[in-house]
Amino acid sequence: MEKDKLFGIGVAFVAIFLVGTFASPYLIPQREPISDKIGVVVTILPQADFVKKVGQDRVSVTVMVPPSASPHTHEPTPQQLVEVSKAMMYAKVGSGVEFELIWMNKIIEQNKKMLVVNCSIGITKRENDPHIWNSPINAKKMVENICVGLIEIDPDYEDYYTENRDRYLQELDAVDAYIHERLDRFTNRVFMIYHPAFEYFADEYNLTQLAIEHKGKPPTPKVIQDCIDLAKEYDLSCIFLAPQFATEYAEAIAHEISGRTVFIDPLPLDYVANMQSIAASLSLEMEG
């Protein structure tokens, strides 16, 4: 009888040990390792920065329009389409970027299972101007939309994503305050740029953007002369242009006003640093 009792206790102990050893992974939900990154595809570089700020180590980002390329003319490469086929999420700008208007349907055909997030939700869009990201206030909405998408495909990490989002939103608030500090004091609030990529920025900070290029077409001799006259009227000394566009027209106008050309990038990877740089460059122009 005593042996049977001891045997029963031993069997029970072994059973508890086996349950603890083999059953616990099924009783306690196990999160996937941080090394198993979520594939996210974006259209432009600023979105890559937004996704990385929210997703951190949990995401691997593919950018469809690479550095120095233009979202108005770029075509996806075969390797990019391979990455699309493996992605869990595509964050589109959603504001009428030509790349998306031309290629988005084909991109979705490559991977009908991936979640497509529209980053422009909640943003009041201007007709025929897709550059919504060049306003820190709009950037905040884009970040929030990206966060919603990441939580949808990876709900176990909701707290992780929201904490990262909130930290980055504070950075965007800080850069918004910095821009106001640099630019609010000026009375001459006009700047001239080759490609009109900063209308949302101008609206946000009560500036006037004078564009040399219109509707994607090179300026005619009359337009160039009009720009020279306007630059002189507003006593401008800088003609701004983006690295993604040709410089000769901007340089010609700068020469005629005894000024110079200055690059400001509408498609940065480091969004906050670039917004600070743009504000600093514009402030130098407005100081005269």
Say which CATH superfamily domain 185-287 falls into.
Nitrogenase molybdenum iron protein domain (3.40.50.1980)
User: What is the mean pLDDT, run by run of 10 residues, along the chain of 288 residues?
Assistant: 44 39 33 68 98 98 91 92 96 97 96 97 94 98 98 97 98 98 96 96 98 90 97 97 87 96 95 98 92
Q: 98: which 2 tokens?
A: 């030509």
Angle at 21 between CA 16 and CA 26, to 5 degrees: 105
> What class does CATH assign to 38-179?
alpha beta
Nearest to 209 by CA among 222, 221, 225, 227: 227
- The answer to whether residues 51 and 142 touch, using CB atoms and an 8 Å cutoff, is no
As beta bridge partners, residue 92 has 118
d(CA 211, CA 198): 10
Parse the chain into domains and list their residue ranges.
Answer: 38-179, 185-287
In this predicted structure, what is the pLDDT of residue 14? 37
Asked whether the domain spanning 185-287 has the same topology as the one spanning 38-179, the reply is: yes
pLDDT in tens, 19-51: 333 333 323 333 344 448 999 999 999 999 999
**Residue 66's CB: how many other CB atoms inside 10 A?**
13
- The answer to whether residues 99 and 43 touch, using CB atoms and an 8 Å cutoff, is yes
For tokens 């990876």, the residue is: 154
For tokens 């490469």, the residue is: 77
In this predicted structure, what is the pLDDT of residue 12? 42
